[in-house]
């Protein structure tokens, strides 16, 4: 579906097509990634028997936002990364201006996809999805979390545990939480079911981030031959740095269990989401 | 309304607020600008008797997109501008990472505002507004036009008249056209009325861009003491460069008249929009 949404014929019949921009958007969004966010949309919708191209479109809209955020985060002015998923980052493969525009284009297209009647017959549902996506992605969500992260790094401040939890709930947690919630919105689930999925997505998101940070720390350990987790300053933006690796591991497992517990109302129907939480706690990439 | 939408209390009660990001978004969006795009939304809605906070919200959503585009266009990797509206650009006043995020935050917030029930009681209208905004802003609209502009400049290619018209219809025309159309969407105008406003917005957008380019060229003339319009290569992305200043002036006036003519179905009700087209043809800033 993502391939179809970013089809090379997306811009038919124009005299002059911004082909380079479409190429960069395709490069950024296709071919790679865990697809955890769209997985959450699809599986949470499936809990209520919802499936089909509309659900896939909503899932893709969320993935488009995730992909845009990677393109912009990789920029020289941000994290300045040369590689992403084993390939040159967008600003390396194209150029910086094209990467900025490709991120902008992906973000904009996410709302195009979400608001389009093809995504859901009920406009109220489409609006709620678009609104939820905007809230998860903007100032109070992902973009705000990235700002907190950059600001803390620039100031050289070691954040408290509560501050790190807040930052990560915004920077990575908000999109994952919305992924789980989106299925409930799509299927017009009742308030209890929706709250259960929000709780699941929230706990899963927090567990995911810690698991990711543990993998980074352990990777570093192997590479550097020392326990980098001792050096809390180096990991100041992570709970591994703030708590140490053992306590972080314990917290990760508790959060994964919280995520599983939140699914109790759905019984065996939620098995795939339960497995996802367990899998996330075991490994992140 | 824009001030209210970007209130300093937009992020209440959070443990840790990305204050710097909100500050940069406010800096970029408040205090300045012609507000031509929200004017078009408000006046086109007024044709059908629609007014009030919902119309203002829709108008602000469009202005948020315009403001985001200025922030990103000013970045070092794009046009590398230090001044905007007589103040340091966002990446100068803050820093580059914050400017990228502020643009992202404004763009995202535009869809938040549009999709919010406070903008219109009918979700179908909100979706149509959000969809129209996304189409005008993305790959097939503003972002795509900016890509064409950058690509032509990088390649050192002189564009044909048709290519310049296409580029400008996307880069600046799409948002202006949508501004005029948005009032019709908001007021659920019939297809004829909507088509008339689209035609108006399209002609106005083209006239506006030429008027802007003429002002630039005349400004340069005064400063440089020579007719820069002779040097078509220098203005390769503009119709002033492609046609010469006199032919461009004539085309600008024809387009303004086309815009006025498109409003004929509305009679005297459209006087404010008629005046806007005439004013645009006289001067752009």
For chain A, the structural domain boundaries read 21-282
pLDDT in tens, B220-269: 555 544 444 443 444 468 999 899 999 999 999 999 999 999 999 999 99
- Suggest the residue from A16, A69, A106 to mutate for an interface test with chain B (most B CBs closer than 10 A): A16
Query: Shortest CB distance from B20 goes to which of A105, A151, A170?
Result: A151
Contact: B139, A77; criterion CB under 8 Å: no
Cβ contacts of A150 on chain B, cutoff 8 Å: 97-98, 101
Q: What is the CATH number of domain A21-282?
A: 1.10.600.10
Contact: A162, B15; criterion CB under 8 Å: yes
A63, pLDDT greater than 80: yes
**Residue A285 pLDDT grade (very low, low, confident, very high; cuts 50, 70, 90):** very low
Comparison of pLDDT for A133 and B11, the residue scoring more: A133
pLDDT in tens, A253-282: 999 999 999 999 999 999 999 999 999 877
Query: Shortest CB distance from B134 goes to which of A112, A127, A128?
Result: A112
A20 and chain B: CB distance < 8 Å anywhere?
A: yes
Which residue in chain A has the smallest CA separation from B65? A108
**Residue A72 pLDDT grade (very low, low, confident, very high; cuts 50, 70, 90):** very high
Backbone angles phi, psi at B77, to 5 degrees: -75, -15
Cβ contacts of B108 on chain A, cutoff 8 Å: 107, 134, 137-139, 143
> B269 to chain A, minimum CA–CA distance in Å?
32
**Predicted pLDDT of residue A16:** 55
A112 and chain B: CB distance < 8 Å anywhere?
A: yes
**Predicted pLDDT of residue A158:** 85
Q: What is the pTM of this model?
A: 0.93
**Residue A85 pLDDT grade (very low, low, confident, very high; cuts 50, 70, 90):** confident
Joined tokens for residue A259:
């995520």
Rounded CA separation B62/B41 (Å): 8
A155 and chain B: CB distance < 8 Å anywhere?
A: no
Contact: B143, A21; criterion CB under 8 Å: yes
> B57 to chain A, minimum CA–CA distance in Å?
14
Which residue in chain A has the smallest CA separation from B99? A77
Lowest mean pLDDT across A61-70, A80-89, B25-34: B25-34
Rounded CA separation B148/B155 (Å): 10
How many CB atoms are closer than 10 A to CB B152? 18
**Predicted pLDDT of residue B222:** 55
pLDDT-above-70 percentage for chain A: 91
Q: Cα torsion at A93, A94, A98, A102 (round to 10°)? A: -40
A178 and chain B: CB distance < 8 Å anywhere?
A: no
Contact: B100, A16; criterion CB under 8 Å: no
pLDDT in tens, A160-210: 999 999 999 999 999 999 999 999 999 999 999 999 999 999 999 999 999
Interface predicted TM-score (ipTM): 0.93
Contact: A140, B77; criterion CB under 8 Å: no
Residue B264 is classified by DSSP as G
B8 and chain A: CB distance < 8 Å anywhere?
A: no
B1, pLDDT greater than 80: yes
B131 and chain A: CB distance < 8 Å anywhere?
A: yes
Contact: A108, B167; criterion CB under 8 Å: no
> B136 to chain A, minimum CA–CA distance in Å?
10
Cβ contacts of B18 on chain A, cutoff 8 Å: 139, 143-145, 147-148, 151, 170
Lowest mean pLDDT across A68-72, A82-86, B72-76: A82-86
Helix (H, G, I), strand (E, B) or coil at A272: helix
Contact: B104, A103; criterion CB under 8 Å: yes
Which residue in chain A has the smallest CA separation from B142? A105
Cβ contacts of A25 on chain B, cutoff 8 Å: 139
**Predicted pLDDT of residue B282:** 78
A245-254: list long-range contacts, CB under 8 Å, 24+ apart. A245/A214, A245/A217, A245/A218, A248/A210, A248/A213, A248/A214, A249/A210, A249/A214, A251/A210, A252/A207, A252/A210, A252/A211, A252/A214, A252/A281, A253/A207, A253/A281
**Predicted pLDDT of residue A51:** 96
A232, pLDDT greater than 60: no
A158 and chain B: CB distance < 8 Å anywhere?
A: no
What average pLDDT does the structure give for chain A?
A: 90
B132, pLDDT greater than 50: yes
Per-residue CA distances from A109 to A65, A216, A279, B259 (Å): 9, 32, 31, 29
Residues 189-248 of B with CB under 8 A from A: none
Question: Taking CB atoms and an 8 Å cut-off, how many pairs form between chains A and B?
Answer: 186
Contact: A97, B22; criterion CB under 8 Å: no
**Predicted pLDDT of residue B15:** 46
Joined tokens for residue B120:
């219109």
How many CA atoms does the CB half-sphere of B226 hold within 13 Å?
A: 3
Lowest mean pLDDT across A227-231, B94-98, B113-117: A227-231
A65, pLDDT greater than 70: yes
Rounded CA separation A204/A77 (Å): 30
pLDDT in tens, B24-33: 999 999 977 8
């Amino acid at each position: 579906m993502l391939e179809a949404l970013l089809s090379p014929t997306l811009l038919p019949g124009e005299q002059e097509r911004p082909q380079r921009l479409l190429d960069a958007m395709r490069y950024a969004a296709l071919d790679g990634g865990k697809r955890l966010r769209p997985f959450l949309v699809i599986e949470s919708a499936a809990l209520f028997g919802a499936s089909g191209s509309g659900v896939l479109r909503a899932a893709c809209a969320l993935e488009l936002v995730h992909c845009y955020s990677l393109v912009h985060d990789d920029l020289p002015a941000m994290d300045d990364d040369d590689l992403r998923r084993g390939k040159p980052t967008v600003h390396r493969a194209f150029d910086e201006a094209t990467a900025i525009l490709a991120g902008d284009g992906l973000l904009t297209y996410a709302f195009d996809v979400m608001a389009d009647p093809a995504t859901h017959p009920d406009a109220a549902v489409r609006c709620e999805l678009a609104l939820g996506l905007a809230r998860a992605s903007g100032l109070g969500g992902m973009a705000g979390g990235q700002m907190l992260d950059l600001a803390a790094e620039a100031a050289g401040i070691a954040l408290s545990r509560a501050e790190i939890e807040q930052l990560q709930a915004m920077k990575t947690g908000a999109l994952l939480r919305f992924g789980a919630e989106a299925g409930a919105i799509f299927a017009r689930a009742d308030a209890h079911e929706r709250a259960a999925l929000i709780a699941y997505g929230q706990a899963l998101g927090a567990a995911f981030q810690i698991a990711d940070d543990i993998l980074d720390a352990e990777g570093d350990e192997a590479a550097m031959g020392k326990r980098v987790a001792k050096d809390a300053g180096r990991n100041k933006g992570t709970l591994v740095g703030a708590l140490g690796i053992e306590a972080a591991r314990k917290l990760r497992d508790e959060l994964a269990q919280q995520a599983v517990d939140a699914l109790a109302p759905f019984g065996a129907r939620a098995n795939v989401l339960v497995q996802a939480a367990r899998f996330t706690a075991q490994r992140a990439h």
